[in-house]
A and B are shown apart, each in its own frame.
Chain A
Amino acid sequence: MEETEAEVAPALIAVHPHRSSVAVAVGYDLRVFDLLAGVGVTLVNDSSSSSSSSSSFHKDSIRAIRFSANGNLFVSAGDDKTLKIWSSISWRCIFTLSSEKRISAVAISNDESCVCFADKFGVVWVVDITGFDANQPLLDKKPTPLLSHYCSIITSLEFSPDDRFILSADRDFKIRVTNFPKKPLDGAHEIQSFCLGHTEFVSSLAFFQAQEYQHHLLSGSGDSTVRLWDVSSGALLDTCDVANKAGLLESNGNGKSEEHGHAVTDLCTTLDGLLVAVAIQGLQGIALLSCNVSAQTLTLAKVVSIEGEAFVPTCLGYAASARELWIVTGVSSLPGCSHPSFARVRVISGIDIEQEAVVLGDDKMPGGEKLLETLQGTASVDENAFLAAAEAVKTAMCNLLIKKQYTSESRESRKKTRNDRKLKQ
C-alpha cells in the first residue's frame, strides 16, 4: 500500500521566460502549449531513441522540468532515470541521457553551458553542453559527478544568477552553496557555505533576479516556513512562518494538530523578488510574501484564495512580462480512482504591489480552451479529484522526504531482538 503511495508524483509547471510557451508535466506525460501561436505543441523525439512509436517520451513520472534563463532550452527528467534536453524553439529533443539512479532535480547554468541534475542518492552530475546546436542532436555527452550530499535526496538545484554558485537542497534540512568551478568536469570542491536553519526537508529554492541581490536566496521547507538567506555567508536573514501567518493552523481547529500538514511545496519570486508566491499544503490558493531584501524582512502580504474549487497548488511558474502567476495542481495517479492522472491549471494575473491579484476564470485564460485541453488533458475537470489529489501529494511527499518516526515501544522491541544488547550478567 505504502509502495504505491510513494510513487505518486505531483504535477509540475514551467513558463517560458519570454512567455512564448508553457509546459506541464503530469506523471510521464509532458504537455507543452505554444502561447504565441495558440496551439498545443507536438514534441519530437531525437533520432537516437529507438521507441519513436510511443507517444510518451518518459517512461515514468517526471520529477523536474525547467526552461533555461534565456529560454533556448528546456529539460525534463524523472523516475525513469532519463534526462531529456529539448530545444524550446523546435521542441525537438536534442539530447537524451541515462542516469544510474532516479533524477530528483535539474538546473541549467544561466550561460547555457552546463546542465546539472541530482539523483536520489544525493549526487549532482554535470553535463557540458557548450556550443549546442538546437537543430543538431548532441552526441557522446557523459555526465560527470560534480558534488554529493551524503546519501540524502536532493530536492532542489539552482544556479545563482551570476553562475558563481550552485545550490543544492536536501531532505536533511540542508542547503549547500558550492562555488561552481571553471572546469566543472573536475568536480566542485569548494563549498562556500551551508544555509542551516530549516527544521524539516527543504523543498524549494528561489533566487532574486535583481543584480544587487543575486546572492540572496529564498527557501521553502516542510517546516512550513520560507527563509531569506545570504548565500555567500550562509547567514539566515529572516524567517516567515507562512502556515501560521496565513491562518492555516487555526482553521485546522478542533484540537487536531496535524504534523507536517503544511509543507511549503513551491515558491517563486515575482517582480524581481518584491513579492514571493508560495504554495503551501492545506492552503487553497497561494500566499504572497512581500520581501524587502535590504531591510532583510519577509512578511505575509496577502493570501490569494481560489474560489469554487479545492485548488492546492503543487507547482508555480511566473511570467514576468505579463505579471502572471501560473499555477498547477495534480498528480500522476489517483489511488483508488478511475482517473489515470489529474492536472488543473490556473492563472493569477495582476501580481503587483498596488493591484489586486485576480484569479482568471477558464474563459479568460490565455490560450483559452485549447490551452486547458492541452495542459490538463481535458477542458473540464472532475471536482472530486481535487481533494484526493491534494491528499495523495501530501502522503507521497511525507513518505519520500520525512523520516519515519517509530514509537519508543516499537524501537524498544526492535532493540530487544538485537544480540549486542545481551549484557553478561
Chain B
Amino acid sequence: MPETGVKSTFSKSTGLPRKRFYRARAHSNPLSDSHFPVPISPSHVDYSIHFPQIFPDSSKKIQFADVGCGFGGLLISLATLFPETLMVGMELRDKVSEYVKERILSLRVANPGQYQNASVVRTNSMKYIPNYFEKGQLSKMFFLFPDPHFKEKNHRRRVISPFLLDEYAYVLGVGGIIYTITDVEELGDWMKSCLENHPLFEALTEKELEADPVVKLLSSATEEGQKVARNEGQTFQAVYRRIVPTEQTS
C-alpha cells in the first residue's frame, strides 16, 4: 500500500472517507445485548456533539430519523433539501456508522455552512427509539431497504412490525410521515399490511405522494436504491401518515 498516514482511509480526490475501509457485515443481530452507550432519556442526548455549529445556541430538536441509515445516502440528500431541519441517522453496525460520521464531517469541511444539520448515532433503534426522541418529536421517519428476514421465526427481527409501529407512532407527531421502501416484494407486502392495519397510520394519497419531494429520494438517494436501479430491479414503497385514531365506539 503506497498510502500511509492518518488520512489513508480518505479519498485523495474528494476528501471523503472510502467505503472499502469501512466494510461490515450486511446484517447485525438486533436481539443481542448492546454494549454501546445509550442516553438515559431524550433530554440526555447531547445535541452539541452532533450539531456543534448549531448548539448550544438553539432549542431545536431532531425532526427526521433515518432508521438503519446504512452509508448515509439519504441523510446527505435530505441535509441540503431541508437545511433548517435537524436530522439523525441511526445505524447498528459500528463501522458503518463510523463511516457516515466521517462522511458528514468531511462534507462539512468541504462545504462550509452545509451539512451542519445532519448527524449519525450508533444504536439499536428497535430497542432504544424512546431513549432518543420525545413523544411526538419527529415529523419524518425513514426505513429504506431494511433487512428482509425471510424466515418466519425471524420476522420479529423486522424493523417494521405491528408492535414496533406503536413506538414509531409515539415518537412521530400527528401528521408525521413514515417512509418505507424495499426491493423485496414479500417484505414490501409485510410493511404495507403492518401500516395498513395499524389504527394510528393512514396511507398518503397518490396526489400527496407526487407532491412530496422526499418520495423521489427513496429509491434514488441511497446506495441500496442505486444498486437496485443498476440491476433494474423493482421497488415497493409504503408511505403512511400518523393520525389521531378515530374514537373507538364501544
Contacts and interface: CB of A to CB of B under 8 A. Distances in A.
A151 interface: yes
Interface string B1-20: 10000000000000000001
B163 A196 contact: no
Given A147-B166, A425-B1, A189 B40 contact: no
Interface in A182-209: 182-183, 186-191, 193-194, 196-197, 199
B162 A191 contact: no
Contact of B248 (A182, A196, A197, A406): A182
Q: Which of A148, A172, A182, A189 has the most chain B CB atoms inside 10 A of its CB?
A: A189
B40 to A, nearest CB: 6
Consensus secondary structure, chain A interface: loop
Given A190-B245, A420-B24, A424-B20, A152 B127 contact: yes
Contact of B41 (A147, A196, A406, A425): A196
Size category of the B interface is 20 to 34
A364 interface: no
A171 B232 CA distance: 45
Contacts of B250: 182-183
Contact of B166 (A191, A197, A423): A191
A142 interface: no
Nearest to A171: B33
Interface string B53-97: 000000000000000000000000000000000000000000000
B3 to A, nearest CB: 11
A193 B33 contact: no
B169 A196 contact: no
Interface string A147-171: 1101110000000000000000000
Contact of A172 (B25, B41, B127, B248): B127
Nearest to A189: B166
Given A147-B166, A183-B250, A420 B25 contact: yes
Given A189-B169, A191-B166, A174 B130 contact: yes
A199 B40 contact: yes
B131 interface: yes
A404 interface: yes
Given A147-B166, A189-B198, A196 B130 contact: yes
Interface in A364-404: 403-404
A132 interface: no
Nearest to A422: B23
B135 to A, nearest CB: 7
B126 interface: yes
Given A173-B40, A182-B248, A196 B33 contact: no
A181 interface: yes
A172 to B, nearest CB: 6
Contacts of B35: 403, 406, 411
Interface in B159-176: 162-167, 169-170
Given A152-B127, A190-B200, A191-B170, 16 more contacts: A148-B163, A148-B166, A151-B31, A181-B248, A182-B248, A182-B250, A183-B250, A187-B162, A189-B169, A196-B41, A196-B130, A196-B131, A234-B135, A411-B35, A423-B23, A425-B1
Interface of B: 1, 20-21, 23-25, 30-31, 33, 35, 40-42, 126-127, 130-131, 135, 156, 162-167, 169-170, 198-200, 245, 248, 250
- A-B pairs, top 3 by smallest CB distance, nearest first, are A148-B163, A196-B41, A191-B170
